[in-house]
Amino acid sequence: MSFRNFPMVPRVVFGRGSFNQLGEILEPKRQGNKAPFIFLVDDVFRGKVDLISRIPLKHNDKIIYVSAEEEPKTIYVDDIRDDIKKEFKETPSGIIGIGGGTLLDYAKAVALMLTNPGSSADYQGWDLVKHQGVYHVGIPTISGTGAEVSRTTVLTGPERKLGMNSDYTPFDQVVLDPSLLNGIPKNQWFYTGMDCYIHCIESLTGTYLNAFSQSYGEKSLDLCREVYLEKESIDEDSQDKLMMASWHGGMSIAYSQVGVAHAMSYGLSYLLGTKHGVGNCIVFDQLGEFYPEGVKEFKQMVTKHGIDIPKGLCKDLTDDQFDTMIDVALSLVPLWENALGKDWQKTITRKKLRSMYELM
Ligand code: NAD
Ligand code: ZN
């Protein structure tokens, strides 16, 4: 097949308060009283009665709190899967992820690993997943990554940071309730939102661009500009728009790719554990050479919102550590090819990457 035939999220509900409909949405998918729904919930909501009390638990359904402090790792995915298998005789009716990109990715990965043998590390790559996962639902509580629509779940494994990209990965159902975005710390709102902005710039300036990606990317970029440049405060309209910007940004990269910022930020995150949103900002801040317009506008947004972009992360690294980051970044061939074309290796040498990392 010369054209990629992508699955999409088949069902989505949007609106303030739509989270309250979750019970109704899940019930028809229940496989019996002994096959629970498992809710993977960001630890940050522990004790937040307003959200937790609205999770529609029945029978032996269970909430598992998961920390988003570190990015998802294959070993944690395997542990969660093993714990669920140990506790419940029947395969769960579904896995529901409630949180940011971290929790959404855990939910996708655990749903797949309940029906695929071995370790999630065996499936990092493209189209390695053999069997459909259990029914899985994504409910974002912070917007920007596009993980709610994407065909991947990004995991750090023993050897690489790479997604389980497959037709079975996308959610079966997404619930977009912008009121869940209340209470996000400002820096984090900025970093995760900039993930979306950067997806758009990388997609729209990439060599893989086509009308499908462009149409979603341009809409997403307009929404990001409204939220981060035109608005004076984070009001309801801004939450609604950021949620849709993230959705469109994810759709845009479905049929194209990300670029230089993501390739380098994966290196940072693999070596130093730098989280995706802030990592992208640290890298993008230094990419004026590759994305002059985008970086200029990004800096305006940083100034407008008084955001801290950490600096000096790489100042004390050893040669071996630089080499590890460079290896990870260089392994992401499609990203470089999208950013710079087939001859990307003429511009992107190890020396060039080292000099760029040294600025971060
Ligand atoms: P996150 O999920 O790590 O959340 C960031 C922080 O915000 C956490 O501390 C979390 O507890 C907190 N938080 C979330 N919702 C909140 C709320 N409503 N109120 C208060 N605090 C809240 O961050 P993220 O930027 O959404 O996701 C990053 C992850 O997403 C990375 O692991 C990255 O690899 C992944 N990612 C995946 C895809 C994909 O397509 N699958 C795409 C991009 C990024
Ligand atoms: Zn991203």
Nearest of 55, 22, 10 to residue 171 by alpha carbon = 10
Residues with a beta carbon under 5 angstroms from ion ligand 2: 195
Q: Report which ligand 1 atom has the smallest distance to the Cα of 253.
A: 40
Per-residue pLDDT, 226: 98
Percent of the chain at pLDDT > 90 equals 96
Task: Name the residue at shortest CA distance from atom 38 of ligand 1.
Answer: 147
pLDDT in tens, 156-202: 999 888 899 999 999 999 999 999 999 999 999 999 999 999 999 99
Q: Is the pLDDT of residue 298 over 90?
A: yes
pLDDT in tens, 302-329: 999 999 999 999 999 999 999 999 999 9
Cα 21 to middle of ligand 1, angstroms: 23
Beta carbon of 276 within 6 Å of any ligand 1 atom = yes
Beta carbon of 192 within 6 Å of any ligand 1 atom = yes
Residue 262's Cβ-side half-sphere holds a number of Cα atoms within 13 Å equal to 29
Per-residue pLDDT, 4: 85
Give the C-alpha separation, 14 to 17, whole Å: 9
Beta carbon of 42 within 6 Å of any ligand 1 atom = yes
Q: What is the mean pLDDT of residues 295-306?
A: 98
Cα 223 to middle of ligand 1, angstroms: 19
Q: Is the pLDDT of residue 85 over 90?
A: yes
Amino acid symbol at 356? M
- Asked if residues 130 and 171 have their Cβ atoms less than 8 Å apart, the reply is no
Q: Is the pLDDT of residue 128 over 90?
A: yes
Ligand nearest to the CA of 196: 2
pLDDT in tens, 207-236: 999 999 999 999 999 999 999 999 988 999
Ordered by where they begin, the domains of the chain are: 11-181 (3.40.50.1970), 186-358 (1.20.1090.10)
Q: What is the mean pLDDT of residues 68-89?
A: 97
Q: What is the mean pLDDT of residues 24-37?
A: 98
Per-residue pLDDT, 3: 86
Beta carbon of 282 within 6 Å of any ligand 1 atom = no
Position 1 confidence tier, pLDDT thresholds 50, 70, 90: low
Q: What is the mean pLDDT of residues 260-272?
A: 95
Is the ipTM above a cut-off of 0.90?
yes
Cα 44 to middle of ligand 1, angstroms: 11
Mean pLDDT, the chain, whole residue set: 97
* DSSP letter for each residue of 18-38: GGGGHHHHHGGG---TTS-EE
Position 2 confidence tier, pLDDT thresholds 50, 70, 90: confident
Per-residue pLDDT, 160: 82
Q: Report which ligand 1 atom has the smallest distance to the Cα of 153.
A: 41
Give the C-alpha separation, 2 to 299, whole Å: 40
In sequence order, which residues have a C-beta less than 8 Å from that of residue 202 and are 6 or more positions away? 253, 257, 258, 259, 260, 261, 262, 291, 338, 339
Cα 192 to middle of ligand 2, angstroms: 8
Q: Is the pLDDT of residue 30 over 80?
A: yes
Beta carbon of 142 within 6 Å of any ligand 1 atom = yes
Q: What is the mean pLDDT of residues 51-76?
A: 97
Beta carbon of 102 within 6 Å of any ligand 1 atom = yes
Cα 233 to middle of ligand 1, angstroms: 21
How distant, in Å, are the alpha carbons of 251, 273, 277, 289, 356 from that of 329? 23, 14, 16, 18, 12
